[in-house]
Amino acid sequence: MKLKYGDLMNAPATEGITKRAISLPGPCARDESLDITVLMGGPSREREVSLTSGSAVAGALEQLGHRVTRSDIGPDDVSALDRPGIDLVFIALHGWFGESGEVQDLCEARGLCYVGSSPKASRIAMNKSHTKDAFRLAGLATPDWVIADTASAWREKVQALPLPVVVKPVDGGSSVDVTIAKDAGRRDAAVESMLAEYGSAMIERFVQGRELTVGILGNKALPIIEVIPGRDFYDYTAKYADGAGTRYSFDHGLGSRVRQEVLDLSIAAHECIGCRDMSRVDFILDEHERPWLLEINTIPGFTSHSLLPMAAKQEGLDFAAMVSRIVKLAMQRQGVRQAIQR
């Protein structure tokens, strides 16, 4: 039996790598009008992306006939969650506070139905080291890594990783402050800078290869996207400010074996963390066509450059239909919970 990180965190877990043939719910009908609060903005460095995501989600929900309240929420003011009559909270907050479990805890404490992963799964996925621990426990391949902090002898620890390496925040998103260091000087400078900014840093073995990503909707893996950045790698600029220089391809030419392996690993990663409703799983496919799991995002972007909507469209779901399915997944879960409580 493969251990799941959720077992250690007292979170629900399943065994092994599984594939389920459960159909996704259809779009919400217009007569199922809900009072929905969309959370956007927030305090993280991904605030601007979140505002764009939230606006797109809110527009789609209004198109579907729902009553929508847009709320720019932060830890100093959570009054938006105390508004009477909320049927559903759609969390479109990226980064700290929105993806790290705090907002989910607030919703749970109020008994509010909300989209996305539980507080525990959110906390695991937000911390890249905990995520990789979960992958390892489930027997899923992920590049070696070490964590540096101000109290550790990190210069000795990083010697175990051959150059080049990737230096990144432990709990950041959107590839903010990520550095590929090809020599020891650049590596050490990047770690020092990150320790000063964040107090910790992840140093990960660099795997040369093709960048792949898979969106998960419900429990279904969407078509694989190859990300071909116009820069050295798919950093924040390539994601949000350099759209013309980055290409996204469904014509990746992967053989059937590799394609199925990537899809299966995506579902396995989603499940071993305990994610629900949606996620996006990122890979590097090395020169031997071996996929390496990098991380998982519990609240993928909903911008014009975002990959989950892109993959859903390839599957035949326009943006509004995708948002509707996410809403229905959350409402069905709430219905099951209420039935159990009765």
Which residues does the annotation mark as catalytic? Answer: 46, 174, 240, 280, 282, 295, 297, 301
> How many residues are given for the chain?
342
Nearest to 56 by CA among 308, 304, 271, 247: 304
Q: Which amino acid is at 9?
A: M
Q: Determine contact, residues 310/225, Cβ cutoff 8 Å.
A: yes
Query: What is the 3 state secondary structure string of 141-209?
Result: CCCCEEEEECCCCHHHHHHHCCCCEEEECCCCCCCCCCEEECCHHHHHHHHHHHHHHHCEEEEEECCCC
314 backbone dihedrals φ, ψ, rounded to 5°: -60, -30
Pairing of strands 35-40, 67-72: parallel
Q: Who's near 315: CB < 8 A, 6+ residues apart?
A: 217, 222, 223
- Beta bridge mates, 68: 36
Distance CA 202, CA 204 (A): 6
Kindly tell me the burial class for residue 183, based on how many C-beta atoms sit within 10 Å of its own C-beta (0-12, 13-18, 19 or more). exposed
